Structure 1
């Protein structure tokens, strides 16, 4: 019997590519052939970030298609990129599938990021098995699926503009949300927000074509959201049962030398600071963060991307590195799974992206939360209010998180052992869910059987 052949299509951003590649590698372990379709721009970044010992290209067929933008255009403009992709990629994908099928290696199942709804339409048209992949929290998908009710209840208008800025909840057991922090409202300017809202609305229609909706979450983390929408199958977190594994699919090559530095630090002493692939700081905020870390008088590992700051901050950073000496370590990108699993880590100062959130929880690490945009505010609610494994950093009246705020919250978090105790409880819950008798593992097994038969 030939191996079932899966075509995996992520949305072309770090937080989407990474978990779908982890899922793809897991499916390869179960005897599937996987062709992974990135945009050309993302494909180059992912392949160039592989380490020398990485064998992903031997396990998965990595291919690319155009995204509809010129090489020099800004791919951080989410709305513009998404519109271009929806215009160009359906035709490119159809040609790709025809070429693969002609080689007598027929695609048997398409797993597409839920945001790439056009791919589910394509799979339906060609009578190929189809699954929608959701890389974020089930609560965010529940919010998205509730857009018609949000319009009906007067929270937003037909363009997604917020009409009622207030706290609310989708059900009595769901986390409380703030309508001003809806994921689409922070996508950029009002036009970008409107475009993203339209895409969200459109994929609410196309997701109905999916025969399975799978999510990188667990029942232990989100029982209320998964009960509200039982069609969402929790099969994650993918890294919970392999916490020392490499995070293949990163856009940057990780600097693993920081692990040797961590080996020299006392247990639970290091502040790990990482803001994902999108967060950008102005000069004042960057300086406040650096000075706040310095004033804690604790060791810290800080991930500073080259595109995270302006030129003046680069000059400041050079002086700062000399000032802190060996007490702090600054890298361009870190092997986050291995870092969070290291016994020296005391807390995680995070932007609260979903991947970072569940990686921190899977490793029993308490959080200092500093959300930037999209779903990160909702994830902060889970961290601070639902699971109670972290503290939020609060802005002052000018919108800055000050050095004093950073210093005070670090001390409060690390001196109160209940945060670590709760983090370890959730770690155990998540890991047990991914093991043989756990809910995520059972859902994954059922999903695999569905693809095969």
Structure 2
């Protein structure tokens, strides 16, 4: 809200995870590039990771002021226990954020915070903006369909489809719109079949956040209207502004929002590989594998006979260092590259990459879809199962990797699906059609471009 020459000042607050920080930082980069003052608030723990992963060039190029607040946990606590972290934030975040906003406004009397963009995952803080004289805006980092499910929870409870703890009652499917795939019993955003107490905590947080979203004047979503028109039409003041890609704007900070230093050497390795030959494997920032499952995947990649680029975080095996089958790394050395973290958009845009073996997080889904790469789907939790349904059933740009009777995705299943994907040109053709759709949406006159312009004009009023 610009008054008498004063700039709007937008403050953004993401959820405390890589898949939430990264897209919101891309959005804030675009906002800052339009001459609007932009501030970004992470928890202290995540702020340290983001700053450490940024190069000096990133820091010089960024027009966003990075800030932090405590997460309420002692320094020695394990932040990978995300339920404990979520409970702590629910107790402490409102007060800590309010204190920070008061400090910012006191130090910037002529550029006080005018708008606060809040990740819907932590939507319970959406009551803060109006108390601080700012306008509340919600940011949905995942699919519009996920937003629809969150906002339908009270109705689903009222109709007897869910109990007050988020467990499905008699029905086996939940549907919110005719063109949105239904959710099965263990595909709900809050489903944790192995931890029912944790599921209850997560459900309560999602329910509280969903109820608060109605306070927002806008809901911004990292999707494109043509992809999810039915879900987008369910909300007033809903602006689809995706895909949020760094490549959409050359001024964007190269690695802004990453929690790890990106290994760019893998791009030179990809340069040496034939077009449409490489399997890219990445499970994002949270997913864990058992050692047995990692062994099956490693042996499948070896048996496939194809070159592969595999992102293996240091904590991917149940929070510990990965151990590979005996002799594996030596046997695949000439056609494999294993890194701890990769510049994913650049990898997926590379001509040598054929398919993406993915956990189906929404950011990865949007990046792969926007760059025309077919998927092999390996969802881990939350919205990833529903994203898999989109990918495999609705868009037909990927194949499922199914578990066996032991709960593992076997080497035989993985190799079989790799071969099927490489032999089915229709999947690649569908992926290229969606790539064209996504790219068109962010070009001038495209739906996402127009929606973003609408929001920028609103900020500058």
Q: TM-score range by the shorter chain?
A: over 0.9
Question: Does structure 1 conserve the Cα–Cα contact (< 8 Å) formed by 2:275 and 2:353?
Answer: yes
**Pairwise CA distance, 1:152:** 2.7
The secondary structure found in structure 2 opposite 1:122 is helix
- Render the CA deviation track for 1:378-425: whole Å, top value 9, x for unaligned: 000110001100000011111110001111100100111111111000
Q: CA deviation at 1:267?
A: 0.3
The answer on 1:382 being equivalent to 2:384 is no
Q: 1:117: how far off?
A: 2.3
1:158 to 150, 154, 164: 164
1:55 aligns with 2:67: no
Does the alignment pair 1:116 with 2:122?
yes
Paired residue secondary structure (2:190): helix
Identify the residue that residue 21 of structure 1 maps to in structure 2.
Answer: 25
Q: Which residue of the other structure, out of 26, 34, 37, is the alignment partner of 2:38?
A: 34
Quote the residue 1:67 is aligned against.
71
CA distance in 1: counterparts of 2:301 and 2:216, whole angstroms: 46
Unaligned 5+ runs, structure 1 = none
Conservation of the 8 A alpha-carbon contact between 1:142 and 1:225: yes
Correspondence for 1:255: 263
Q: Equivalent residue for 2:225?
A: 219
Q: How does 1:182-201 map to 2 (within 5 A)?
A: 182-186=188-192, 189-201=195-207
Shift of 1:127: 2.6
Counterpart in 1 of 2:379? 371
In 2: Cα distance, 1:394 partner to 1:176 partner: 19
**Residues 120 and 210 of structure 1 are in contact (CA less than 8 Å); yes or no, is this contact kept in structure 2?**
yes
CA distance in 1, matches of 2:232, 2:124: 25
- CA deviation string 1:121-160 (max 9, x = no partner): 1112223111011100000110111112221333220111
Measure the CA separation in 2 of the matches of 1:402 and 1:81: 33
Alpha-carbon shift at residue 224 of structure 1 (Å): 1.4
Would you say the 8 A contact 1:165–1:180 is kept in 2?
no
How big is each residue's C-alpha offset from its partner over 1:156-203, in whole Å with a ceiling of 9 and x where there is no partner? 201112223623421222213213211111396211111111111112
Gaps of 5+ in 2: none
Mapped to 2, the partners of 1:59 and 1:189 lie a distance apart of 42
Check conservation: 2:291, 2:322, Cα contact below 8 A: no
Moved more, 244-253 or 10-19: 244-253
Distance change >3 Å, CA 95–CA 272, structure 1 → 2:
same
State whether residues 243 and 363 of structure 1, in contact with CA within 8 Å, keep that contact through their aligned partners in structure 2.
no
Distance apart, 1:312 and its partner CA:
8.8
CA contact (8 A) 2:136 2:217 kept: yes
1:326-361 deviation line (CA, Å, top 9, x unaligned) = 211100000001000000000000000000000000
Distance 1:393 1:309 in 2: 19
Q: How many residues align?
A: 453
**Offset at residue 255 of structure 1 (A):** 0.4
Residue 292 (str. 1) matches residue 296 (str. 2): no
SS in 2 for 1:365: coil
Secondary structure in structure 2 of the residue aligned to 1:112? strand
Aligned to 1:403: 411
Distance 1:57-1:242 versus aligned 2 partners, 3 A rule: closer
The corresponding residue for 2:343 is 335
Structure 1 pair 259–243 and aligned structure 2 pair: CA distance change class (3 A): farther
Alignment map for 1:82-93 (pairs within 5 Å):
82-93=86-97
| Closer/same/farther in 2, CA of residues 240 and 439 from structure 1, 3 Å limit | farther
Mapped to 1, the partners of 2:321 and 2:170 lie a distance apart of: 38
2:15 is matched with which residue? Answer: 11
Q: Give the whole-Å Cα distance in 2 for the aligned partners of 1:318 and 1:98.
A: 58
Give secondary structure in 1 for the equivalent of 2:355: strand
Instruction: Write the distance in 2 (CA, Å) between the matches of 1:427 and 1:53.
Output: 30
Residue 415 (structure 1) aligned with residue 434 (structure 2): no
The aligned counterpart of 2:310 is 302
| Larger mean Cα displacement after TM superposition, 70-79 or 393-402 | 70-79
